[in-house]
């Protein structure tokens, strides 16, 4: 399920022009996660800062090529917990994620579009060796426009994982306006944990929109050598954020979004430098709030 949602999300981010227009090409934001108790004692909270942008390189009637880049800083704070517990170990703190990718779209007919999204990503804690934080991936697929209100498309994705088997998964692109002010989409979701997901959007009026959705999120990152006898192991944070977003189009160029939600089915994983499991701990549902600013050129 996680891989399917990820595939839907990434592929549809630029496939449908009606979706792409809803998310500003330049965005920045902040999310505070109040956290919860961790199994074995102690608790965790976190803060997330993100910035992203896109740059069109080539465009004509049938071909569109663009670069996209993003950066996020995810700062964790583990507190309490008895000696030897997961929280007491304080397994990681600041995690940096940088992504550089491209979008290539071909208009085959008035109904059919093909797309490709190659990318490279670095995900690691402060102090991790940069070369050991790198993974790559690609998405390939197509979309078919059944009508002005419905676009659906299949595809396949490949995403490398740090010290784990690469994920190969199906993609499903959906952009369906099922009534005048309501739509269902797997396209980009402004400011929600930095990423897209499955959501229902309600266009309250021209400059005001409410979005309700959920996504399955997996963060896997290289650690420094502070807890693994000099070896740089792997940390992982998994959850399903359920969220609501109120977006105000302040001007033709500026939009502001206010985000609130809760992370469900959450757990932490800790692996050694070869990907062997050292620990897995659940943590309580964690509410979060945030703000996102977008700029259209």
Encode pLDDT of 31-62 as tens digits: 999 999 999 999 999 999 999 998 889 999 99
Mean pLDDT of the chain: 86
Query: Taking residues 140-144, what's their average pLDDT?
Result: 92
- The residues that bridge with 240 in the sheet, in sequence order, are 264
Number of domains in the chain: 1
Query: What is the H or E stretch that residue 211 is in?
Result: strand 208-214
Query: What is the H or E stretch that residue 119 is in?
Result: strand 112-125
DSSP 3-state helix, strand, coil percentages of the chain (rounded to 5)? 10, 65, 25
pLDDT (0 to 100) of residue 44: 97
Query: Taking residues 174-181, what's their average pLDDT?
Result: 92
Query: Taking residues 132-137, what's their average pLDDT?
Result: 94
Is the model's pLDDT at 119 over the cut of 90? yes
Range of 194's domain? 2-295
Least confident interval from 20-24, 113-117, 239-243, 285-289:
20-24
Is the model's pLDDT at 9 over the cut of 70? no
Is the model's pLDDT at 289 over the cut of 70? yes
Q: What is the CA radius of gyration of the chain?
A: 19
pTM, to two decimals:
0.87
Q: CA 179, 183, 184, 186: dihedral to nearest 10 degrees? A: 150
pLDDT (0 to 100) of residue 105: 93
pLDDT (0 to 100) of residue 84: 85
Residue 197: which of 207, 178, 211 has the closest Cα?
211
Is the model's pLDDT at 193 over the cut of 60? no
Query: Taking residues 95-119, what's their average pLDDT?
Result: 94
Contact 215, 241 (CB under 8 A): yes
Q: How many helices (H) and strands (E) does the chain have?
A: 3, 16
pLDDT (0 to 100) of residue 16: 33
Give residue-wise pLDDT tens across range 63-86: 999 999 999 999 999 999 898 899
Query: Taking residues 89-101, what's their average pLDDT?
Result: 94
Query: Taking residues 185-209, what's their average pLDDT?
Result: 75
Distance CA 239, CA 38 (A): 13
Give residue-wise pLDDT tens across range 202-257: 999 999 999 999 988 889 999 997 665 557 899 999 999 999 999 999 998 999 99
Query: Taking residues 130-139, what's their average pLDDT?
Result: 94
pLDDT (0 to 100) of residue 168: 86
Could you tell me the pLDDT band of residue 2, with boundaries at 50, 70 and 90? Answer: very low
pLDDT (0 to 100) of residue 227: 64
pLDDT (0 to 100) of residue 268: 97
Q: What percent of the chain has pLDDT over 90?
A: 68
């Amino acid at each position: 399920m996680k891989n399917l949602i990820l595939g839907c999300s990434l592929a549809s981010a630029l496939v449908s022009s009606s979706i792409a227009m809803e998310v500003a090409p330049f965005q920045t934001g902040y999310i505070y996660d109040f956290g919860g108790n961790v199994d074995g004692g102690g608790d965790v909270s976190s803060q997330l800062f993100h910035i992203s942008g896109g740059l069109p390189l080539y465009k004509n009637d049938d071909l569109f090529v663009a670069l996209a880049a993003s950066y996020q800083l995810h700062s964790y704070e583990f507190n309490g917990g008895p000696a030897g517990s997961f929280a007491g170990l304080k397994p990681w703190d600041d995690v940096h994620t940088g992504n550089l990718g491209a979008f290539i779209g071909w208009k085959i007919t008035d109904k059919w579009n093909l797309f490709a999204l190659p990318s490279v990503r670095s995900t690691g804690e402060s102090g991790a060796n940069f070369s050991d934080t790198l993974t790559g991936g690609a998405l390939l697929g197509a979309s078919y426009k059944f009508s002005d209100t419905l676009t659906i498309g299949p595809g396949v994705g490949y995403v490398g994982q740090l010290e784990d088997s690469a994920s190969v998964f199906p993609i499903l692109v959906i952009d369906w306006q099922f009534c005048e002010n309501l739509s269902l989409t797997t396209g980009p979701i402004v400011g929600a944990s930095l990423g897209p997901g499955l959501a229902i959007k309600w266009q309250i009026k021209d400059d005001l929109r409410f979005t309700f959705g959920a996504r399955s999120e997996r963060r896997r990152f290289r650690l420094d050598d502070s807890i693994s006898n000099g070896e740089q192991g792997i940390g992982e944070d998994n959850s399903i954020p359920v969220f609501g977003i109120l977006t105000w189009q302040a001007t033709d160029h500026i939009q502001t979004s206010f985000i609130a939600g809760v992370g469900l089915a959450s757990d932490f994983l800790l692996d050694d430098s070869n990907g062997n499991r050292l620990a897995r701990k659940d943590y309580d549902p964690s509410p979060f709030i945030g703000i996102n600013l977008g700029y259209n050129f």
